[in-house]
Amino acid sequence: MTAAVFRNYIDGRFAEAAATFDSVDPSTGAAWATMPAATAADVDRAVEAAHRALRTGPWASMTATARGKLLVRLGDLVVANADRLAELETRDTGKIIRETRAQIAYVGDYYRYYGGLADKHEGAYVPIDKADMEVTVRPEPIGVVAAVVPWNSQLFLSAVKLGPALAAGCTVVLKASEDGPAPLLAFAELVHDAGFPAGSVNILTGFGQDCGRRLTGHPLVARVAFTGGPSTAREIVRNTAENLAYTTLELGGKSPVVVFADADLDSAANAVVAGIFAASGQSCVAGSRLLVERSVKEAFLDSLKRKAETITIGDPQDPATEMGPLATVRQRERIEAIVAESLAKGGKLVTGGKRPDGGASGFYYAPTIIDAGSPDLPCVREELFGPVLSVLPFDTEAEALTLANDTPFGLASGVFTTNLGKAHRMARGIHAGVVWINTYRAVSPLVPFGGYGLSGLGREGGLDAIRDYTRSKSVWIRTSDEPIPDPFVMR
């Protein structure tokens, strides 16, 4: 047993776990905390509690305004506790403290946004084409939500699910990733302190096969909100074949960043570096494919190489650190294998491609740039989820667009140009859920987010997200006092 012990939060109580596992600090490789491994029985208890809360008790009878106030209070608590949560996320995932602090402080705004929306999501009065009928449409909570998140940015990825789900009146069982669950299990204390009724929000962690599968396939679950990789997404779709839960999927990416010769190249270089090396590349929107106009390619690569080689790599808890370790040892092994294969198949290493000096025991990997030469190399095709940028040149705008869309993914993209018409044409032509023009990695609770193709189904964020957690009920009222006539004629 390690010094820090975390517990699942089920039916308003922090539950002792029958089974546990160790969580490893990726900057040292040492176990630092004991985590609960939710069993099938724990999952059943959580889903049953969520189902009870949906049907009976204080949550079921709460007004939308009251739910909104709870969400705003939760947002305030997240902000007040951002430093503590950030330290936990950095400890458990290796993500640098600068980034976890800034991101978690912003997570509060997601809860406030959906708190504000809770009583503004209106139904409808239908001007029905029958004189003796009144029809209203009520948006009702869809039911128990199973929310499943991956290890990176767990508080953020949970907020885009919990916020609209709770605003809509659903109840939730949230499964933290088995990698780096500490910040979400600590966040459960804030849910409790905010005053959410027992069973309305349940937070647990455990492994995909026992806990995730049981949860997403549970007969009482009506809605699954998943973020993770495409192969897990396919398993989840299979899990939901029995309960027919309405499912949204936020998956991976191989996002292109297109740099035209007419761009502000220094600014573009900073954005490209941040787009791929922030969070050590473990970001679904990582700009991992650089497409650069051939006439400026060499100069641009020189600039990127200089910037990549001066990134400060080190202890993720040190505010001066710019890049930390990868979250898991298996993540580094996978990246090493794909980089080696890509170099063997003709890719040219511009920088990196190895473990950095120092930090021997942690899961570090140097910022890496590969001049790919061919769009068929594995480093161009596969999502590495690490600090590896693959570079391809292009000569014309049409070729840039073809290369940008040469992927089964379609999550994010960036375009750098000072030509307004070109920016609009590229924005129209790129198959991705997000196009950033002369910027990269901007997000907001007000803006929908999601992918095309293998990057997912559905959108999170923005006004429509709350609609995705409701289903409409049409209520027909006959107003006539006359007896119902001939029953065999449809009206």
Please give the positions annotated as active site: 250
Closer CB to ligand NAD, residue 12 or residue 208? 208
Closer CB to ligand NAD, residue 215 or residue 423? 215
Is 243 one of the binding residues for ligand NAD (CB under 6 A)? no
Site string for ligand NAD, 339-368 (x = CB under 6 A): ------------------------------
Site string for ligand NAD, 268-297 (x = CB under 6 A): ----------------x-------------
Tokens of 302: 């020189």
Specify the residue for token string 């699910």.
161
Q: Give the chain's length.
A: 491
Nearest-approach distance from CB 296 to ligand NAD, in angstroms: 29
Is 26 one of the binding residues for ligand NAD (CB under 6 A)? no
Closer CB to ligand NAD, residue 188 or residue 296? 188
Stretch that binds ligand NAD, among 64-72, 233-241, 397-405, 470-478 (CB under 6 A): 233-241
Out of 23, 27, 216, 247, which residue is the one contacting ligand NAD (CB under 6 A)? 216
Query: Which residues have CB under 8 Å from 110's CB, separation 6+?
Result: 75, 156, 159, 160, 163, 445
Nearest-approach distance from CB 175 to ligand NAD, in angstroms: 6
Out of 148, 184, 350, 426, which residue is the one contacting ligand NAD (CB under 6 A)? 148
Q: How far apart are CA 167 and CA 162, in angstroms?
A: 8
Nearest-approach distance from CB 384 to ligand NAD, in angstroms: 10
Tokens of 6: 């975390």
Q: How far apart are CA 106 and CA 156, in angstroms?
A: 9
Alpha helices in 81-207 (DSSP H): 82-93, 97-117, 154-167, 182-194
State the DSSP H helix or E strand holding residue 472, giving kind and residue range, or none if neither: strand 470-478
Specify the residue for token string 């050590």.
280
Closer CB to ligand NAD, residue 202 or residue 216? 216
Site string for ligand NAD, 248-267 (x = CB under 6 A): --xxxx--------------
Tokens of 430: 């790129």
Out of 212, 314, 378, 445, which residue is the one contacting ligand NAD (CB under 6 A)? 212
The β-bridge partners of 28 are: none
Closer CB to ligand NAD, residue 27 or residue 240? 240
Tokens of 231: 């192969």
Out of 151, 260, 300, 436, which residue is the one contacting ligand NAD (CB under 6 A)? 151
Q: How far apart are CA 137 and CA 160, in angstroms?
A: 26
Specify the residue for token string 């198959």.
431
Closer CB to ligand NAD, residue 62 or residue 245? 245
Nearest-approach distance from CB 309 to ligand NAD, in angstroms: 26
Stretch that binds ligand NAD, among 112-120, 212-220, 390-398, 466-474 (CB under 6 A): 212-220
Closer CB to ligand NAD, residue 206 or residue 367? 206
CA distance between the termini of the chain: 70
User: Would you list the DSSP string of 249-274?
Assistant: EE-----EEEE-TTS-HHHHHHHHHH
The strands making up 470-478's β-sheet, listed across from edge to edge, are 124-126, 133-141, 470-478
Residues 172-201, interacting with ligand NAD (CB under 6 A)? 175, 177-178
Out of 107, 291, 400, 411, which residue is the one contacting ligand NAD (CB under 6 A)? 411
Is 145 one of the binding residues for ligand NAD (CB under 6 A)? no
Closer CB to ligand NAD, residue 9 or residue 151? 151
Query: Which residues have CB under 8 Å from 144's CB, separation 6+?
Result: 47, 50, 51, 54, 170, 171, 172, 173, 218, 220, 221, 222, 223
Q: How far apart are CA 201 and CA 170, in angstroms?
A: 9
Is 27 one of the binding residues for ligand NAD (CB under 6 A)? no
Q: How far apart are CA 82 and CA 94, in angstroms?
A: 16
Nearest-approach distance from CB 123 to ligand NAD, in angstroms: 29
Query: Which residues have CB under 8 Å from 100's CB, separation 6+?
Result: 85, 86, 87, 89, 90
Contact 117, 91 (CB under 8 A): no
Stretch that binds ligand NAD, among 193-201, 227-235, 258-266, 469-477 (CB under 6 A): 227-235
Helix pair angle (64-80, 182-194), 10° resolution: 130
Query: Which residues have CB under 8 Å from 442's CB, separation 6+?
Result: 436
Closer CB to ligand NAD, residue 172 or residue 292? 172
Nearest-approach distance from CB 241 to ligand NAD, in angstroms: 12
Nearest-approach distance from CB 170 to ligand NAD, in angstroms: 19
Specify the residue for token string 């106009």.
293
Interface residues with ligand NAD (CB under 6 A)? 148-152, 157, 175, 177-178, 207-209, 212-213, 216, 227-229, 232, 235-236, 239, 250-253, 284, 383, 385, 411, 451, 456
